[in-house]
Amino acid sequence: MMHPCWAARVKPFKPERLSLLLLTAALAGCMEAAGPAPALTPLPPDPARVKMYSERQDHGYTVPGVDVAKIDPKYLRQLVDYDTDQPAGTIVVDSYNRFLYLVMQHGKAMRYGVGVAKAGLEFEGTATIARKAAWPHWTPTPDMIKREPERYGPLAKGMEGGTKNPLGARALYLFKDGKDTLYRLHGTTEPWSIGKSVSSGCIRLLDQDIMDLYQRVPRGSRVVVLGPDGKSQGES
């Protein structure tokens, strides 16, 4: 016979309680079985891009290879769809999105990632490539020497071309109305700067990219540098 105190403490059994207990146990079992989420393994770099940015010999110099795994893929050279009114052969620089486009036919463009000028040093408008140079000589501008005399003063007479020259493997010189703007499209010894705003006014590309662009465009090619609104100076 059940003790009266026990009888007072025993609650009538409800079937729905059993269902709840079984569901709780099942969920606990699933969580234990799943364990921690596996770590994601980065995809290996595209072999074609690795080759495109590999070390190469050029004019007696060694162009260092670029570790493409350290660069945002969107800044690597690629053929893209591009809607523009500019004719094929035009170079369009979108400084604010860090891209340079070589306009091609049928709505396409070759796109390159670029490093651009620090705030206040930007060039905007249209220009013409009046000169091309491989492994160019470099001389800091008077304004650069004035801004940073300790850095650029000792280089006032210039630096011969080579792997330590800040213009890199190639340079395209921008002129406007027949006068040198002092702005260049050029290579760089600092691959990490692509996609950033760091230069003293020029547009820099990876050496492998400026070499590619250099052989695609002749002297006299038109260059359009867009403003923050996506238009060049003079456009309405």
* Catalytic (active-site) positions: 186, 202
Quickly list DSSP for 142-208. Answer: HHHHHH-HHHHGGGTT-B-SSTTSTTTTEEEEEEETTEEEEEEEE--S-GGGTTSEEESS-EE--HH
Sign of CA dihedral 197, 201, 203, 207: negative
Pairing outcome for strands 78-81 and 108-113: antiparallel
3-state secondary structure of 86: coil
Tokens of 98: 């860090």
Residue among 76, 73, 122 at smallest CA distance from 96: 122
CA distance 21 to 67: 56
What's the CA gap between 127 and 93, in Å, rounded? 11
HSE-up of residue 130 (Cα within 13 Å, Cβ side)? 13
Cβ atoms 220, 128 nearer than 8 A? yes
User: CA 13 to CA 99: how far, in whole Å?
Assistant: 72
